[in-house]
Amino acid sequence: MAFVPQAPILNTASSKLATKFSFDAALQRLTVNEEYFFELLFVINTTDNIIIYNPSVTSKGGTKDQNRTVFTFDTTSMNDADDLLIVYEPKLFVTEQRTETFLQQLVCQMKIMNVHLSLMTDACIREQDIT
C-alpha cells in the first residue's frame, strides 16, 4: 500500500514533483535532475512508507550540494529502485550578465520617462504662459 500525501501538501503554487532523479540508498544520496537551483521540500519512500527528508525535522534533514542531497536519515536498508515521492520548489537564479542587462534596460526606461516628464512639464508651462 503506497503512501498518499494529503492534497494540501502538494497544492502550493510553485512546488513540483520530481520525475528525473537517481537514488543511491547505500550512500544516502539523492540526485535531482529537474532544475539546477531548487529547494527540496520533502522526500517520501512510498515503497516503505517512510519520510526520508523533511527539513523541519532534524533527524530527517540533509546537506545539499548543487543538485545532490545527502540525507541525515539512514537509507542504507532501502533499495535504489524504491518508489520515491520528491517535492521541490524551483529557485530563480539571476546571473551577473542578466542583472547588468536588466539594469541597462531600467536606465533606458528611466531616460525615456524623464524625456516624457520634461515634455509634459514644458507643455504645462506653455499653457500657463498662454492664459
Strand-by-strand arrangement of the 68-71 sheet: 21-24, 29-32, 68-71, 62-65
For residues 109 and 74, membership in a common domain is answered with no
For residues 81 and 102, membership in a common domain is answered with no
102 within a domain of the structure (yes/no): yes
pTM above 0.95, yes or no: no
User: Region 1-28: what's the mean pLDDT?
Assistant: 68
For residues 69 and 54, membership in a common domain is answered with yes
pLDDT band of 120, cuts 50, 70, 90:
confident
For residues 47 and 103, membership in a common domain is answered with no
Q: Which helix (H) or strand (E) holds 129?
A: helix 96-130
96-128 b/e (C-beta count within 10 Å ≥ 16 → b): eeeeeeeeeeeeeeeeeeeeeeeeeeeeeeeee
48 within a domain of the structure (yes/no): yes
1 within a domain of the structure (yes/no): no
Cβ neighbours, 10 Å, residue 6: 7
Average pLDDT, the chain: 80
Q: The domain containing residue 25 runs over which residues? A: 7-90
Nine cell digits for residue 114: 524623464
Q: Convert the pLDDT of each residue in 18-76 to its tens digit.
A: 889 999 999 999 999 877 678 889 999 999 999 999 988 989 999 988 788 999 999 99
pLDDT at 54: 92
For residues 82 and 114, membership in a common domain is answered with no
